[in-house]
């Protein structure tokens, strides 16, 4: 079954052109693959649950050396590539991701030029290879695309993520066996060209797809596009699971399924924005204000990285009208509050060491070492309240990096994260 592929250039994703009834028919036709999914998960259910209990019991209790876990994705624009790179440098990150769609295989020279410029600025680059239904139907064409990417672009990247959000039919893959067909040819190519292979790039809270794929595919790093925007704040739950519990479960599923230990990357996350119309990748409830996006961004990164179970998180993406850190709808690009929030987070937390977590009512405080002082990253999911910090408060930075005044050790905690330095 093939439907004409239609790309939504405003929201950077495909249109879902297959009618619901046709999708249902196709899934019924491939029911056998779902029984295989059930079997693969059933066999690993007990090991996964045992690991999950252990990981959840110890979450946020061990010290975590962060290293450089912050990353943001970029896309080439052509005439404004210089501006993209200068803004990327301004974030303070050294890690980035670039999508390469299979339907732009005739434009790989353009991507090569962009990647060369990123490498000259000493950015570490991960490539994410996007597929469509035509690639599943005509597998030899997809394999030629892989060969061209690995031979032409691998020299400018350290990792390649093969496939993208394939558990959504609009991306062209209708069951996990079709994804295996797309990903398997990349295994030998990655070894041949000396680049790390990343996957399986499952989107959202659908962890049942990891056991059957990780059993077959020897990814160097396991990736997830772990969105929580439909729940709103990252602390909100989906079927009883908030982001912290999801991370513990993801780690358990990966460790019980992969061929040996694997680091985990979150290669895509964002919150779409209200008032951006056709540029938003979602409609209705997932859209938030720019201030909420900035708050949720910091809280998501801290909640994920402080677990010690996620090596790196990529924000999608730097420049995009409907969800990016920069609004490009006007001739003069505008840095959103989320840009300043991201920039401050990187400046303050990069290379830090998380020491633990404390909760006071609805407040959350993650403590980190900064030389002689202690740093607390704090916010609340409830009503604002005053919190008495131990020791002497020396300095407070707001979410956007601005100094905040204070007169005592009792500091007002709100939904917007703050950085409190004290001894």
| pLDDT single digits (tens) 275-313 | 999 999 998 889 999 999 999 999 999 999 999 999 999
- What pLDDT is stored for residue 371 in this prediction? 67
Cis amide prior to 200 (ω within 30 degrees): yes
Query: How are strands ordered across the β-sheet holding 393-397?
Result: 64-65, 353-360, 363-370, 373-380, 418-422, 393-397
CATH 3.40.50.720 fits 18-34+44-350, yes or no: no
**Does 1 have pLDDT greater than 60?**
no
Query: CB pairs under 8 A, 24+ apart, for 28-31?
Result: 30/174, 30/175
Cα–Cα distance measured from residue 226 to residue 243, given in angstroms and rounded to the nearest whole number: 9
Highest average pLDDT, of 17-26, 183-192, 372-381, 388-397, comes from 183-192
State the average pLDDT over residues 42-66: 92
Q: Mean of the per-residue pLDDT values for the chain?
A: 92
Residues of the chain with CATH 2.60.40.1180: 354-422
Residues of the chain with CATH 3.20.20.80: 18-34+44-350
Q: Which residue has the tokens 């670039």?
A: 98
- Copy the structure tokens of residue 81: 């590539």
Query: CB pairs under 8 A, 24+ apart, for 227-230?
Result: 227/203, 227/268, 227/269, 227/270, 228/269, 228/300, 229/270, 229/271, 229/272, 229/282, 229/286, 229/288, 230/282, 230/285, 230/286
**Does 17 have pLDDT greater than 70?**
no
State the average pLDDT over residues 372-384: 90
Q: What is the dihedral of CA 225, 226, 231, 237, to 10 degrees?
A: 160
In 3D, which of 274, 177, 258 has the Cα closest to residue 224? 258
The model's pLDDT over 233-286, given as tens digits with 9 standing for 90+, comes to 999 999 999 999 999 999 999 999 987 789 999 999 999 999 999 999 998 889
Q: Which residue has the tokens 């990529």?
A: 314
State the average pLDDT over residues 25-49: 75
- Copy the structure tokens of residue 127: 């490539």
Q: Which CATH class is domain 354-422?
A: mainly beta
Which residues, at least 6 apart from 305, have a Cβ–Cβ distance to it below 8 Å? 64, 66, 69, 313, 354
- What pLDDT is stored for residue 34 in this prediction? 63
For residue 169, the SS3 value is helix
State the average pLDDT over residues 303-324: 97
Q: In the chain, pLDDT over 90 holds for what percent of residues?
A: 79
For residue 277, the SS3 value is helix
The model's pLDDT over 122-177, given as tens digits with 9 standing for 90+, comes to 999 999 999 999 999 999 999 999 999 999 999 999 999 999 999 998 999 988 99
Do 149 and 163 touch, CB atoms closer than 8 A? no
**Does 395 have pLDDT greater than 80?**
yes
129 vs 29, residue with greater confidence: 129
């Amino acid at each position: 079954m093939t439907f004409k592929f239609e790309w939504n250039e405003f929201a950077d994703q495909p249109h879902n052109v297959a009618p619901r009834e046709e999708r249902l028919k196709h899934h019924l036709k491939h029911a056998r693959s779902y029984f295989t999914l059930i079997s693969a998960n059933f066999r690993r259910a007990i090991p996964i649950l045992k690991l999950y209990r252990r990981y959840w019991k110890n979450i946020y209790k061990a010290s975590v050396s962060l290293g450089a876990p912050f990353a943001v994705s970029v896309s080439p624009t052509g005439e404004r590539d210089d501006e993209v790179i200068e803004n990327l440098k301004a974030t303070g990150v050294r890690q980035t991701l670039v999508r390469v769609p299979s339907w732009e295989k005739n434009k790989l020279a353009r991507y090569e030029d962009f990647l060369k410029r990123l490498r000259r600025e000493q950015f570490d680059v991960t490539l994410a290879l996007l597929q469509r239904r035509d690639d599943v139907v005509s597998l030899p064409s997809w394999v030629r695309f892989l060969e061209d990417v690995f031979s032409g672009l691998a020299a400018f990247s350290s990792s390649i993520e093969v496939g993208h959000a394939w558990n959504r039919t609009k991306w062209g893959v209708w069951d996990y066996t079709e994804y295996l067909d797309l990903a398997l040819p990349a295994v030998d190519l990655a070894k041949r060209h000396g680049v790390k292979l990343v996957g399986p790039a499952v989107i959202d809270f659908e962890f049942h797809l990891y056991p059957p794929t990780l059993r077959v595919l020897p990814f160097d790093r396991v990736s997830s596009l772990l969105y929580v925007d439909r729940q709103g704040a990252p602390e909100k739950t989906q079927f009883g699971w908030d982001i912290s519990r999801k991370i513990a479960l993801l780690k358990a599923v990966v460790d019980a399924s992969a061929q040996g230990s694997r680091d985990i990357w979150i290669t895509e996350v964002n919150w779409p924005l209200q008032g951006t119309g056709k540029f938003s990748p979602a409609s209705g409830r997932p859209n938030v204000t720019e201030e909420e996006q900035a708050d949720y961004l910091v809280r998501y990164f801290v909640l994920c990285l402080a677990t010690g179970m996620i090596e790196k998180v990529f924000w999608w993406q730097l420049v995009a009208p409907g969800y990016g850190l920069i609004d490009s709808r006007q001739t003069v690009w505008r840095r959103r509050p989320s840009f300043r929030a991201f920039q401050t987070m990187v400046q303050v937390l990069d290379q830090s060491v998380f020491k633990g977590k404390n909760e006071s009512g609805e407040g959350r405080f993650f403590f980190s070492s900064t030389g002689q002082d202690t740093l607390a990253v704090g916010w609340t999911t409830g009503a604002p309240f005053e919190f008495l910090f131990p020791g002497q408060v020396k300095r407070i930075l707001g979410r956007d990096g601005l100094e905040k005044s204070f007169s005592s050790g009792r500091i007002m905690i709100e939904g917007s994260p703050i950085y409190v330095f004290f001894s």
